[in-house]
Chain A
Amino acid sequence: MSIQDQVIAILAEQAMIEPQDVTFDSTLEDIGIDSMGVVESIFAIEETFDITVPFNANTPAESDFDISTVRSIVAGVERLKAEQG
């Protein structure tokens, strides 16, 4: 599975919806993931990809990881995996 498909699967599971209902432009709020769901999703992403995601739940906007859309999350994970080499 590609990074993109795996991220979408994680988010779909968290939101309890089908993966095909998660679009690139969706925000987490759109698909029904609240602030606790965000923290759980980040944890699942870290466990799946063996990466550390720089995310502070106090100031999501200032974290070095953009969670504003599904697209930005996928891009963030791809960047972290690439940095890992």
Chain B
Amino acid sequence: MKRVVITGAGTINALGLSVPATLAAMRAGKCGIGPLEFRDVERLSIRIGAQVHGFESEARYNRQQIALYDRFTQFTLAAAREAIEQSGLTFSGDLADRTGVVLGTAGGGVSTWDDNYRAVYEEGKNRVHPFVVPKLMNNAAASHVSMEWKLRGPSFTVSTACASSNHAMAQAFAMVRSGMAPAMITGGSESMLCFGGVKAWEGLRVMSRDACRPFSANRSGMVQGEGAGIFVFEDYDHARARGAEILCEVAGFAMTSDASDIVMPSKAGAARAMQGALKDAGINREEVGYINAHGTGTAANDKTECAAVADVFGAHADQLMISSTKSMHGHVIGGTGAVELLACIMALRDGFVAPTIGYEEPDPECALDVVPNEARDASVDVALSNAFAFGGMNAVLALRRV
């Protein structure tokens, strides 16, 4: 079994168009949530979200590329470039043949579906652009990364709603750990901040109209975000041999299924995933200093997640820090675990724990140290990143300082 480390990270999200910008925003407790801006927003009852601003597609991609790249693919490619450049890897020969791309997304090209349904249903057109299918397919982003960097190893896309990118990163980790691949490009992306994407979420009636306040007694629901987080996972020996900068180690993971309800979370399923990740990594629960929570800001998630943490960690639950960065970058759905992994890297490598902002009132059912409102200096050796999806599919990653 190989040790697996992260040697590159990239992101596009509402907090920043790079990892340094995002981490600086997390340290400062900035909020990326604001009024949504897109066509027909006035027909929505939910009009806030963590939208990416200042991402100039035309400056990044040419006309032919834009015809093929949905926004979720555009975010992915920009984040992948940052990650791969940081890693210093260049892909050719055997390395290119064995390195692949495993990414998560829940919806894929949602705005491409939306735009083209509008064209045929609302505008009555009988013809759509020839590339609608390759633009909207869920594996488009992974394919374009493999094409851009000529990565010819195992590549595919994982779709497990809000746990998609954690499931994807777990797959990439397992492939590097087993020796199947020397390196993998992994993470996830999502962009469903368009009329149809938000309208669908509105129907569930769990969306907040004002702010995302995870763990706060006056929470009012979740707020959607968008973006991508992309990482280079690499065999530790391979990374050491070439003198690469190591951001942190991926020590273990676990995946569980609640097998109970299509939307309501289960304490047992969440707890088994956290326990399993610790066991897989060979980590004692007392070593965990930080948990990046799933922390959606819904009553159902927050109470269940805190109860699961209390069950898994016992008395140590009161010693560790747990924060939800969704309060800042919104719920990036299938890309959320990837964006949130950045907060784990910041805790392990830089010694800064990202806060849960918007926190106003303690909730007795979430009586943990949620790092309210302000980032904290702390030395963290082990961090967990939780993702608990609709459908009861959970994936937790365990990360360690190197």
A interface residues, Cβ below 8 angstroms from B: 35-36, 39, 42-43, 52, 55-59
Cα A57 to Cα B208 in complex, Å, equals 10
> Number of B residues contacting the other chain (C-beta, 8 Å)?
15
- Residue B130 at the A interface, CB < 8 A? no
Please name all residues of chain B whose beta carbon is closer than 8 Å to the beta carbon of A42 when the two chains form the complex.
Answer: 205
- Residue B68 at the A interface, CB < 8 A? no
Of listed A42, A57, A58, A59, residue having the most chain B CB within 10 A: A58
- Residue B263 at the A interface, CB < 8 A? yes
Q: List 27 A-B contacts (CB under 8 A).
A: A35-B264, A36-B262, A36-B263, A36-B264, A39-B204, A39-B205, A42-B205, A43-B203, A52-B45, A55-B205, A56-B205, A56-B206, A56-B220, A56-B221, A57-B204, A57-B221, A58-B206, A58-B208, A58-B219, A58-B220, A58-B221, A58-B298, A58-B299, A58-B300, A59-B219, A59-B220, A59-B299
Cα A36 to Cα B219 in complex, Å, equals 20
Please name all residues of chain B whose beta carbon is closer than 8 Å to the beta carbon of A39 when the two chains form the complex.
Answer: 203-205
Q: SS class of chain A's interface: helix, strand, loop or mixed?
A: loop
Closest B residue, CB atoms, query A43: B203
Cα A25 to Cα B395 in complex, Å, equals 43
Please name all residues of chain B whose beta carbon is closer than 8 Å to the beta carbon of A35 when the two chains form the complex.
Answer: 264
List the 4 closest A-B pairs by CB distance, nearest first: A57-B205, A58-B221, A58-B299, A57-B206
Please name all residues of chain B whose beta carbon is closer than 8 Å to the beta carbon of A36 when the two chains form the complex.
Answer: 262-264
Please name all residues of chain B whose beta carbon is closer than 8 Å to the beta carbon of A59 when the two chains form the complex.
Answer: 219-220, 299
Distance in Å: Cβ of A39 to nearest Cβ of chain B: 5
Cα A56 to Cα B220 in complex, Å, equals 8
9 new A-B contacts at CB < 8 Å, known A56-B220, A58-B220, A58-B221: A36-B262, A36-B263, A39-B205, A55-B205, A56-B205, A56-B206, A57-B204, A57-B206, A58-B298
Please name all residues of chain A whose beta carbon is closer than 8 Å to the beta carbon of B204 when the two chains form the complex.
Answer: 39, 57
Cα A35 to Cα B264 in complex, Å, equals 9
Please name all residues of chain A whose beta carbon is closer than 8 Å to the beta carbon of B298 when the two chains form the complex.
Answer: 58
Closest B residue, CB atoms, query A35: B264
Cα A48 to Cα B203 in complex, Å, equals 16
Distance in Å: Cβ of A78 to nearest Cβ of chain B: 21
Distance in Å: Cβ of B296 to nearest Cβ of chain A: 10
Please name all residues of chain B whose beta carbon is closer than 8 Å to the beta carbon of A58 when the two chains form the complex.
Answer: 206, 208, 219-221, 298-300
Closest A residue, CB atoms, query B301: A58
Cα A35 to Cα B262 in complex, Å, equals 12
In chain B, residues 145-204, which have Cβ atoms closer than 8 Å to a Cβ of chain A? 203-204
Cα A52 to Cα B43 in complex, Å, equals 13
Please name all residues of chain A whose beta carbon is closer than 8 Å to the beta carbon of B264 when the two chains form the complex.
Answer: 35-36
Please name all residues of chain B whose beta carbon is closer than 8 Å to the beta carbon of A43 when the two chains form the complex.
Answer: 203
Please name all residues of chain A whose beta carbon is closer than 8 Å to the beta carbon of B300 when the two chains form the complex.
Answer: 58
Distance in Å: Cβ of A43 to nearest Cβ of chain B: 7
Cα A29 to Cα B262 in complex, Å, equals 19
Closest B residue, CB atoms, query A42: B205
Cα A39 to Cα B262 in complex, Å, equals 14
